[in-house]
Amino acid sequence: PNEKMKQVLKKTIEEAKAIISKKQVEAGVCVTMEMVKDALDQLRGAVMIVYPMGLPPYDPIRMEFENKEDLSGTQAGLNIIKEAEAQLWWAAKELRRTKKLSDYVGKNEKTKIIAKIQQRGQGAPAREPIISSEEQKQLMLYYHRRQEELKRLEENDDDAYLNSPWAD
């Protein structure tokens, strides 16, 4: 594709990545399946604009759009968890398929949980850190500055003020 078409693809890819990025969760936006489908539709539209004749049947992008991509033997294939082998975890507890989510969380509709998918037999996933890395950096910076200030004050405990005229 020419340069203009490359830009169309790049821009659409960036928009699609922004729709499904982790930053959405940090911003408090709930990512729905409809949003994911919209992102895929945007990508399909951009590919149709750039390649109006369509992609060949063996093209990985076309295979992905048609959900026929074979990932066996690839690194990406290791990240896929089949539905039968998946376990859902929340608060260090496995969520059973036979129970409702309200049995674990309660009936408050405004409750927001972060659940993790783990492969069956791997046990509970690692716990989330209590504070984020950014908060930890800020805390470390604050305590470092405080320590420097205390050190400076300790060195500056001279009695020069006793010789001043107002001290009489």
Tens of pLDDT, residue by residue over 25-65, are 788 888 888 998 999 999 999 989 888 888 888 887 888 88
Tell me what pLDDT residue 84 has. Answer: 84
Which single residue is written with the structure tokens 């420097």? 148
Tell me what pLDDT residue 107 has. Answer: 87
**pLDDT tens digit sequence for 75-96:** 666 677 778 888 888 888 888 8
Task: Name the average pLDDT for the chain.
Answer: 83
The residue among 131 and 146 whose pLDDT is bigger is: 146
The residues, any chain, with a CB within 8 Å of residue 1's CB and separated by 6 or more, are 9, 50, 51
pLDDT surpasses 90 at 124: no
Tokens standing for 156?
């500056």
**pLDDT tens digit sequence for 138-151:** 999 999 999 999 88
